[in-house]
Amino acid sequence: MHSHSMKGAHAHPRSLDALFDARAAEYPDSPALHVDGRFVSYAALAGLKERIRATLIDEGLYDARRPIGLLCAKSPAAYAGMLAIMGSGNVYVPLNPGHPVERLRRVIEQAAISTFVVDSASFDLAAAMLTGAETAGTIVVVDATQNAGHPPASTRWLRIVHPTDAMVSPSAAHGCALAYLMFTSGSTGLPKGVPVAHSNVLALLSGLRPLLALKRDDRLTHFAELSFDFSIGEIFPCWDAGACLYVPSQSDLLDPSAFVRRNALTLWSSVPTLAAYVQQLSALGSEPMPTLRLSLFCGEALPTSIARFWHDAAPASRIVNLYGPTEAAVFATSYTFDPDRPPQSEWVPIGEPLHTVVARIDTSSAPDGSTGELLLSGPQVVDRYWGDAIDQSRHFVADSVDERVRWYRTGDFVSRDPRHGYVFHGRADHQVKVRGFRIELQEIEATLRRLLPDQQVAVVAARGGDEQEMQLVAFCNRLECDRDALAALCANELPVYMVPRIFVPLAPFPVNDNGKIDYLRLKRIACATLSEGVPAAGR
């Protein structure tokens, strides 16, 4: 068994909204946000937050400790609403207006949400969510720039909060332990709620401070959607330092490196898939990003080839690979990539735990005793899922020696390297069985990445047409040789049962709302391709 314990943590404010208030008092005129081409100061955002907070309190929601839906685009209303919900002693639930209505309904039903903080563009969607509700609902509309329409009969009241409303004084501190409720994909098909406490995120900030060393004059990217927990790891480290968060527009997303250069940004954070997109743009002549001093990647395994490219694209930037599940408040481990001594592996290691995390490997099911499931504990880690429908004991287990210690089972397989720390080997749910053989799909992807450098690759297992057996289908941006030749190259490195049956060129790759490769959509494409009877490689 390998175990790594946390060191002492720093003292913190008792809540995330209190942390923001402290920065707003310290740096009132400094920009907290750059959004829609304009700056929003800490004082201005704090003022809007207090007006929304006062509205919630006036309606009897002070310290109610209930989930409140935050249904907004990435605007000042969203960030002020987030802080106001927490500051009123409630739990914010980020809802993405771009998500399918049925998914939103499932989240709202599971969280029992009857109160929403929305922007005017999302009012109709919130009203639709409350239509037919058995209990009265509440909608708070922030920054109304147009008529909000008419609430359904089940809506108890409607209040418009304008940025120009009179300032209100902060009220007493609340006693709500939970900060937010983040819903992730669940294996049952229903979204799975992760209740994260203020203390979990404050511990994260303590773990990140020595690693990031952020300063007031830093300018940070903010690519993640608010419904993706990566956004927590962008927003609060930034505000903890009194720095400025830059929200990209839709046009900025078409050329992220130009967004960095135009605003002289100093810190990049994204999933590796976005870095792969920048790599594709660089092949078309995209310029480097000299102002970046720090680049953070998380959310997916980081290919070593992408890290090497990023060093060339942002030569002044330190590159840090972060790993962590939602259940551990975003980031749990870190690894700083050394371009002069890169790891001799396809994937950048995930490194060592932050000092606020305890990590160990459960090697009980590993015959060689070196690779096993990663378990996490410590003040960043939540102790349960939301509701009673999930078998908590499958995911949260008591320590065999000290029953007061709870471990979260990540479902990620790792080993321990004396130089690089923890090394990621894939997820349990990325393993499939083909022709009776258990296969790790990421091993095939690693082989394809060697054979097709500078390309995105992905492999899925699917059935389609007359095929009853599971088949391996590989995707890449383009085919630089014929399929038979590529299959032969794979066969030189992989057992025959691991060689993809079909190779599909696809550009760009589909991505989900969190910016990661959308494997579910790739699987649907694979099923359709198999059903169409596309000739297999080597036949």
Q: Using DSSP bridges, classify how beta strands 318-323 and 358-362 pair: parallel, antiparallel or unpaired.
A: unpaired
What pLDDT is attached to residue 10?
38
**Whole-number CA gyration radius for the chain:** 24
Q: Is the pLDDT assigned to residue 35 strictly greater than 90?
A: yes
Percent of the chain residues topping a pLDDT of 70: 86
pLDDT in tens, 55-74: 898 888 888 899 999 999 99
For the stretch 86-100, what's the b/e string if a residue is b when 16 or more beta carbons lie within 10 angstroms of its beta carbon? bbbbbbbbbbbbebe
Q: Is the pLDDT assigned to residue 117 strictly greater than 90?
A: yes
Q: In 3D, which of 120, 125, 121 has the Cα closest to residue 137?
A: 125
What pLDDT is attached to residue 19?
96
pLDDT in tens, 123-156: 889 888 887 666 668 889 887 554 445 555 545 5
Q: Is the pLDDT assigned to residue 467 strictly greater than 60?
A: no
Q: Which amino acid is at 43?
A: A
Burial of 536 (0-12, 13-18, 19+ CB in 10 A): middle
Domains and CATH numbers, the chain: 42-196 (3.40.50.12780), 435-531 (3.30.300.30)
Residue with tokens 């038979």, as numbered in its chain: 484
Mean per-residue pLDDT, 232-252: 98
Comparing 469 with 405, the larger pLDDT belongs to 405
What pLDDT is attached to residue 5?
46
SS3 286: coil
Q: Distance (Å, rounded) from C-alpha 434 to C-alpha 449? A: 21
Q: How many secondary structure helices (H) and strands (E) does the chain include?
A: 15, 27
Q: Distance (Å, rounded) from C-alpha 109 to C-alpha 438? A: 38
Q: Which amino acid is at 528?
A: A
Helix ranges (H only) for 149-249 are 198-212, 230-240
What pLDDT is attached to residue 328?
97
Q: Using DSSP bridges, classify how beta strands 2-4 and 219-221 pair: parallel, antiparallel or unpaired.
A: unpaired
Please state the three-class secondary structure of 89-126 as a single string.
CCEEEEECCCCCHHHHHHHHHHHCCCEEEEEHHHHHHH
φ/ψ of 471, rounded to 5, equals -120, 150
- Cα dihedral 176, 33, 511, 415 sign: negative
Mean per-residue pLDDT, 3-8: 49
Q: Is the pLDDT assigned to residue 304 strictly greater than 90?
A: yes
Nearest 10 degrees: CA dihedral of 211, 213, 219, 222? 30
Contact residues for 386 (Cβ-Cβ < 8 A; gap 6+):
110, 111, 181, 192, 193, 194, 195
Q: Distance (Å, rounded) from C-alpha 483 to C-alpha 493? A: 16
Token reading at 67: 């989930």
Tell me 74's DSSP state.
S
What pLDDT is attached to residue 426?
80
What pLDDT is attached to residue 165?
55
For the stretch 56-83, what's the b/e string if a residue is b when 16 or more beta carbons lie within 10 angstroms of its beta carbon? bbebebbebebbbbbbbbbbbbbbbbbb
**Which residue(s) pair with 511 in the sheet?**
517
**Which residue(s) pair with 480 in the sheet?**
none
In whole angstroms, how far apart are CA 181 and each of 194, 235, 315?
6, 16, 38
Could you give the maximum distance between any two Cα atoms of the chain, in Å?
A: 75
Region class of 175: left (phi > 0), else alpha (psi between -120 and 50), else beta? alpha
335, 389 contact by CB (below 8 A): no
Comparing 407 with 176, the larger pLDDT belongs to 407
Percent of the chain residues topping a pLDDT of 90: 57
Mean per-residue pLDDT, 257-262: 97
What pLDDT is attached to residue 147?
47
Tell me 475's DSSP state.
E
Q: Distance (Å, rounded) from C-alpha 96 to C-alpha 45? A: 21
What pLDDT is attached to residue 198?
97
**Which residue(s) pair with 221 in the sheet?**
246
